[in-house]
Amino acid sequence: MIQSYSMNSTSSLISPDVSGYQSHDIKPVKLGVMASGNGSNFEVVAQAIKSGDLNAQIQVLIYNNPLAKAAERALNHGVEAILLNHRHYQKREDLDREIVSTLRQYQVDLVVMAGWMRLVTQELIDAFPNHIINIHPSLLPSFKGVRAVEQALEAGVKITGCTVHLLRLEMDSGPILMQAAVPVLPNDTAETLHARIQVQEHRILPLAIAQVADKI
C-alpha cells in the first residue's frame, strides 16, 4: 500500500525497518476509521492517501464524541462521518453492534482506531478478526491505558514512544506491528513529550496500515 516513503535521520528509531518498502497490491484497501477527539491521526492517513503514499480509501469515520474535531476533518476530505454517541447505549456491546453494522454497511476491509477512547467488546473484535489496528502513545507493553505520557514521565523513563498493534480484548494488548522510540528530555512536560510522540505516530500509522493491508 505504500509506494514510497522517505525516512529522515531518526529512521533507526522505528522498528521494523520499512525503508524502501513497496506494496505489490493494486486494489486499494477500504478503511473504516474510529476516532474520539481531534482526529490528527485521521488527517495523516487521509493525507497519505491523497499524496499517493498509501493505497487505500477511507469509507467512513465513526466518532462517539459530538464535539470531536475528527468529524470536521472527515467532511473536509469528503468522507462521511457517523456519530454513534456512546451515551445513548446502555451496554458497550450494544454500541459495538451498531459500529459493526455501520462498518459492514460501508464494506470496510480494515478498521483503524485512531484515538478511539472507548473500551471495545468481543462483538467488534469477532466481526473483524485481526483486521482492527490501534495506535497508542507508549512503547507497549509499558504504560497501557489512559495518561500514557504522564505515566512515562512519572516513571522516570528515558525513552518512550508509540505503538501500532492489532486489537485484542485486553486494553492495549495484541501483536505489535510497529513502534517508534522517542527520547524523554530533562525538561519535558506531558504536552511537549506528547507532541514529539505524535510526530512519530503520524509516521508509523500509514506504514502499519500498509503492511496489514498487504496481507488482506
> Of 191, 117, 179, whose CA–CA distance to 153 is shortest?
191
Question: 123 is written with which cell numbers?
Answer: 462483538
Annotated binding-site residue numbers for (6R)-10-formyltetrahydrofolate: 92, 117-120, 134
DSSP 8-state assignment for residue 137: S
C-beta separation of 144 from 171 below 8 A: yes
> Of 122, 128, 162, whose CA–CA distance to 41 is shortest?
162
Q: Which helix (H) or strand (E) holds 160?
A: strand 159-166
Count helices and strands (H / E) in the chain. Answer: 6, 8
HSE at residue 165, side-chain half, CA atoms within 13 A, is 20
Catalytic residue numbers, as ranges:
136
SS3 label, residue 53: coil
Measured between alpha carbons, how far is 49 from 89 in angstroms, rounded to an integer? 33
> Distances in Å between the alpha carbon of 216 and those of 28, 43, 96, 131, 176?
11, 23, 23, 8, 17
Annotated binding-site residue numbers: 39-41, 92, 117-120, 134
Strands 56-63 and 132-136: unpaired
